Amino acid sequence: MTSTAGAEASIALLGQPNSGKSTLFNALTGARQRVGNWPGKTVEKKEGYYTRAGVHYHVADLPGTYSLSANSEEEIITRDHIASGGADVVCILADSSQLSRSLFMLADYAGIRCPAVLLLNLMDVAEKQGKQVDAAELEKRLGIPVVPFVAADLRQYEPFHEAVERALKQKTLIDTGSLTAKYRALEGQVYEQVLALLPAEGLGRYSADWIAAKLLEGDQAVQAAVEEQLSAEKKHELRTFLSQVSNGALETAGAKFQWVDELLDGVLVQSGKKAALSRFDRLATHRRWGKPLAILIILLGLIASFFPAAPIMLAGGMIPQLGAPIGAALSAIGAPQLLIDLMSQVVLNTLYFAVAMIGFVFGVNLVFGFLEEIGYMARVSYVFDGTMTRLGLQGKAVMPLVVSFGCTIGGAAGTRVIDSWAQRVLTIALAWVVPCAATWAIVPVIASLFFGAWAPLVIVAIFVVAGLHMLVTAKVFGSRLIRDEDRAGLIMELPPYHRPRWGALLRSILVRTWDILSRALRIIFIVSLVFWLVTYSAGGSPDGSLLYRFGRAIEPVTMFFGLTWQTFLAYISSMVSKEAALGVLGSLYLGAGSIFSSTLGGSGPQMATGLSEALLASLSAPAALAFIFAVTFNAPCLMAITSTYQETRSLKWTLRILAYYFATSLLLAAIVYHVAGLFL
C-alpha cells in the first residue's frame, strides 16, 4: 500500500469511545461500508472506502478504547491492526471538550512508528464551553498534523483530507522526545533500566521507547513478543527486573498525563471564569482564614435566626393567658376540674413551648438550609478537615460531624463510610458533642426566657464550649482507640456555588420545621401529661407526692451542679429526648405552682401566666445556664444511644460514651453554675 496517486491508502480511525469515530467513518464512506467481525473475534469490524483525488482510501473504524494496553480484546485488536501494518495513517480522534482525558490515547500511541493525524473533534462543544485550542502550536509540539474538527459538519472536511494527505506524504510521526523525558524522570530510573535491556531498534512498528513503557505497565503480550528476540540470559534479567517494579502502569500513566499537560499548556485556553466568586472561594477555603470565616458565618446565622424568632416567641407567651377564658368556658359547660386543669396546664403549656420554638426552628433551618443549598457547607467541611486530622480522625469524619448539626443519629450512620472501626467509634463519640436540631429548638427558648437580648451570647458560649469539649473528648477516647493507622489520602471536590432554588429550599425547610415541631409537640405533651398525672393524683398538695419528696431528697446533691431537683429531672429526661426536658420542666414548675395556687383558692389568671414566671421565680440565672449546658452536652437522645450501639456493635463502648457524657455534662453544669454565680 502506498500513498502515491492512483494507488491506495489505508486509514485507521482510533479514539476513545464517543470521540466521534463512527460519525467520521459514516461521513467518509457513506454506503460504501461493510460490517463484519475481526478475524476469530466477536468484536465488530467496520470497514469502508472512499475515493479522493484519484486515491482509493480504505477506512477501518477501530473499536473505541481508552488506551492501547492489553486490558481487553478491543484494545489488543486495535494495536495489532496498527502494528501489523493494517494502516498507512492513523487518525487519532480526541474529544476537544475534555482534551486532558482524551489525549491519553495519543500519549499511548506515541512511539508507534505509523504516520498519524490528530483530529480535535467536537470542537463546537469545546467552543461552547469557552475553550480555545491553538492547533498550530499543538502541531508544532507534536510533529503531526493537528486539525480542529467537527465530525458532524460535512463542510469542515477539507482540512481533514489535506492533513491525511500530508501525513501520508511526509510520514509524520509523533515527536516523543518530551514524553520519553517524562518516562526517564520516573523514580528509580526504571525506564532507562528496561530500555537498556531491549533491542535498540524496537520491534516492527513499536519503537523501543514504546515497548519500554508497555513493559513497565506489565503488558504480557508485548513482553512475550520482546522475549522472543532476547537471549535466555537477557530474558531472565528482564523478568527479574520487571518483577521488582511496583505501580508501573500508574506511574507511566502519570508520565503520560504530565506530557499531555505540558502539551496543552498555553495551547488550551479556558475563558469566562467567575472572578468575584472565585475570590470569595479562595477566602472560604483559605488555610488560615477559612475556619474563622466559617465559624463567623455559622454564628451570625444562628444569631440572625433570633430576629424572626423573637416576635413569635413573644406571641407564644400569650398562649398561657388563654387558660382563663378556656377554663371559664369549660367550667361554664360543667366540665370536670380534671379536664379544665389538663387543658390549662398540659395542653396550653405544650402549645406555648411549641410556638416559642417554632420561629427559631424555622430560622436555624433556613440559615443552614441556605448555606447548604448554595454550596457553602461543603466548604465548611473542607476547612475543618485539618482539625479532624488533629483530633486523630480521618478527613472523612468531617461529614458525619456536619450532619450531626441536624441529627446525631444521621451522624452516627454517616460514619459508615469510615472503614476503620476505631475511627468510627471515635467519630461517633465526637458527634455526640455537636448540638443537634432539637438542641437548637429548645435551648434558645430557655435562653431567651432568662437572658432576653443576651440569649445569642449563650449560643456563642455553647459553640466555644463544644469546641473545647471536642478537643478533650478526642484526647480521652482517641488515646484508647486510635493507633497510628495508615492514613488514607483524601481529595475533596467541592460543588460549585449556585443560586438557591428558593422554592425547593422553602418547601424542605417547612417540612423539616413541621417535623421537628410535631415531634416536639408529641413528646412534650406526653411527658407533660405523665408528670402532671403523677403529681396531680397525689391530691391537693404537691408536697405529698412521691416525686416531690424524692426531688427534695436529691436536691442537696443536684444543687452542686447548679440543678434544682426539677431541672435535674428534666436533664435526666433529656437523655431520652431533648424536647422531653421542656415537658418535664413545664409540668413540674407550672404544675406545682398551679396546684399550689388552686389549693389556696387561687383563680385562673394566676395559674395561666404561671409558666414563664414560675421558671423565672424559681431558677436563678446561673441555674438556668447550668441547665442549658447540662442538657446541651448530655447524651443526645435515646435513639442516638441505640444508634451508637447499632453502628459500633459494642455495648461496652456505647456505655462508656454514655457514662462519659453523663459525667461531663454534669461537670460542665457545675463549672458554669459556679463561675456564672460570680458574675450574675
Partner 1 sequence: MYARLLRLLKDGRARLPEDLSRELGISPETLRAYMAYLAERGMLARIRWRNDALGQGCSSCLSCRGCPAWEDAENDPVLWEMRNSTTDRGNS
Ligand X SMILES: Nc1nc2c(ncn2[C@@H]2O[C@H](COP(=O)(O)OP(=O)(O)OP(=O)(O)O)[C@@H](O)[C@H]2O)c(=O)[nH]1
Q: Say which residues have a Cβ less than 8 Å from residue 63's Cβ, sequence separation at least 6.
A: 43, 44, 74, 75, 77, 78
- Of 143 and 159, CB closest to ligand X: 159
Nearer to partner 1, 482 or 607 (CB): 482
Partner from ligand X, partner 1, none binding residue 99, C-beta < 5-8 Å depending on class: partner 1
The helix/strand/coil state of 7 is: coil
Say which residue the cell 509540539 belongs to: 141
Residues 198-237 that bind partner 1 (CB under 8 A): 217-218, 220, 223
Question: CA-based angle 650:655:657, to the nearest 5?
Answer: 100
Count of residues in contact with partner 1, rule CB under 8 A = 88
Site mask, ligand X, residues 149-168, x = CB under 6 A? -xxx----------------
Considering only residues 268 through 297, tell me which ones interact with partner 1, judged by CB under 8 A: 268, 285
SS3 54: coil
Cα Rg, the chain, nearest whole Å: 37
Which residues have C-beta within 8 Å of that of residue 244, sequence separation ≥ 6?
none
Residues numbered 88-147 forming contacts with ligand X, rule: CB under 6 A? 121-122, 124-125
Residue 6 CB partners (closer than 8 Å, separation 6+): 54, 55
Cell of 606: 394566676
Distance between CA atoms of residues 256 and 179, nearest Å: 7
Among 3, 10, 23, 545, binds ligand X (CB under 6 A): 23
Number of residue whose CB is nearest ligand X: 64
Q: Which is nearer to ligand X, 96 or 207 (CB)?
A: 96
The CB-of-255 to partner 1 minimum distance in angstroms stands at 7
Of 40, 273, 493, 499, the one binding partner 1 by CB under 8 A: 493
Given ligand X, partner 1, none, residue 305, with its beta carbon under 5 to 8 Å by kind, binds none
Which of the residues 395 through 414 are near partner 1 (CB under 8 A)?
395-396, 398-400, 403-407, 409-414
What's the gap between Cα 666 and its chain centre? Answer: 34
Choice between 466 and 616, CB closer to partner 1 = 466
CA 446 from centroid of its chain's CA atoms: 34
Residue 565 binding: pick among ligand X, partner 1, none (C-beta 5-8 Å cut-off by kind) = none
Q: What binding mask, one character per residue, do residues 617-656 give for partner 1 by CB under 8 A, x or -?
A: ----------------------xx-xx--xx---------
For residue 9, the cross-strand partners are 57
Residue 455 contacts by C-beta under 8 Å, 6 or more apart in sequence? 306, 444, 447, 448
Residue indicated by cell numbers 433570633: 306
Stretch of 86-94, 240-248, 472-480, 530-538 contacting partner 1, by CB under 8 A: 240-248
Q: What number of CA atoms fall less than 13 Å from residue 519's CA on the CB side?
A: 14
Stretch that binds partner 1, among 226-234, 258-266, 318-326, 575-583 (CB under 8 A): 258-266
Q: Segment 41-70, which members bind partner 1 (CB under 8 A)?
A: 66
Q: The C-alpha cell of 177 is what?
A: 522526545
| Residue 137 contacts which entry, partner 1, ligand X, none (Cβ below 5-8 A, type-dependent) | none
Contact in structure between 640 and 412 (CB atoms under 8 Å): yes
Determine the interface stretch with partner 1 among 27-35, 253-261, 546-554, 657-665 (rule: CB under 8 A). Answer: 253-261
Nearer to ligand X, 124 or 613 (CB): 124
Complex with partner 1: residue 382 or 525, whichever CB lies closer: 382
Site for partner 1 in 90-109 (CB under 8 A): 98-101, 104
Give the type of residue at 258.
Q
Q: Which is nearer to ligand X, 31 or 275 (CB)?
A: 31
User: How many other C-beta atoms are found inside a 10 Å radius of the C-beta of residue 557?
Assistant: 11
3-state secondary structure of 35: strand
Q: E strands within 151-310?
A: 268-270
Shortest Å, Cβ 476 to partner 1: 21
Provide, rounded to whole angstroms, the least separation between the CB of residue 31 and ligand X: 17
In 3-state terms, what secondary structure has residue 305? coil
In the range 52-71, which residues lie near ligand X by CB under 6 A?
Answer: 64
Q: What are the cell numbers at 568?
A: 435535674
- Shortest distance in whole angstroms from residue 363 CB to ligand X: 48
The least distance separating ligand X from the CB of residue 120, rounded to whole angstroms, comes to 9
| Cα–Cα distance, 78 to 5 (Å, whole number) | 28
d(CA 548, CA 562): 18
Pick the closer one to ligand X by CB: 151 or 585.
Answer: 151
Of 499-518, binders to partner 1 (CB under 8 A) are: 511-512, 514-516
Give residues with Cβ within 8 angstroms of 515, minimum separation 6. none
| Dihedral of alpha carbons 448, 449, 453, 457, sign | negative
Binder to ligand X among 22, 33, 98, 321 (CB under 6 A)?
Answer: 22
Min separation Cβ 516 and partner 1, Å: 7
Q: Give the footprint of ligand X on this chain (CB under 6 A).
A: 15, 17-23, 64, 121-122, 124-125, 150-152
